[in-house]
């Protein structure tokens, strides 16, 4: 069984994105006064969460799509 790298990357970005969204949504509003009241934690958390979900979806879709052309091809012994 081969691990698709998109699954752990998607999981990592999704977890970090959820944490940032929660921190941005539930955190202290005074923290963002110096940044023109832009809640950067919330926005980057959402971006990371979307990226993580896309990676998980692509990895999951590839996992359930069936064998690739290389995996279906018969193995031929090397004549050399």
pLDDT per residue over 21-49, tens digit each? 999 999 888 888 888 989 999 999 999 99
Q: Is residue 79 domain-resident?
A: no
Percent of the chain with pLDDT over 70: 79
Q: Is residue 77 domain-resident?
A: no
Give one DSSP letter per residue of 16-36, joined into a string: HHHHHHHHHHHS-GGGGGGGT
Average per-residue pLDDT for the chain: 86
pLDDT on residue 1: 60
Residues 6+ apart with CB under 8 A from 19: 45
In terms of residue numbers, what domain contains 36? 6-65
> Where does residue 66 fall: left (phi above 0), alpha (psi -120 to 50 degrees), or beta otherwise?
left
pTM for the predicted model, two decimal places: 0.72
Percent of the chain with pLDDT over 90: 55
Count of structural domains, the chain: 1
């Amino acid at each position: 069984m081969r691990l698709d790298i998109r699954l752990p990357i998607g999981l990592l970005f999704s977890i970090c994105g959820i944490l940032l969204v929660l921190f941005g949504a539930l955190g202290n509003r005074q923290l963002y006064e110096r940044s023109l009241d832009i809640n950067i934690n919330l926005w980057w958390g959402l971006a990371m969460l979307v990226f993580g979900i896309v990676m998980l979806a692509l990895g999951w879709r590839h996992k359930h799509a069936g064998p690739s052309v290389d995996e279906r091809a018969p193995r031929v012994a090397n004549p050399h």
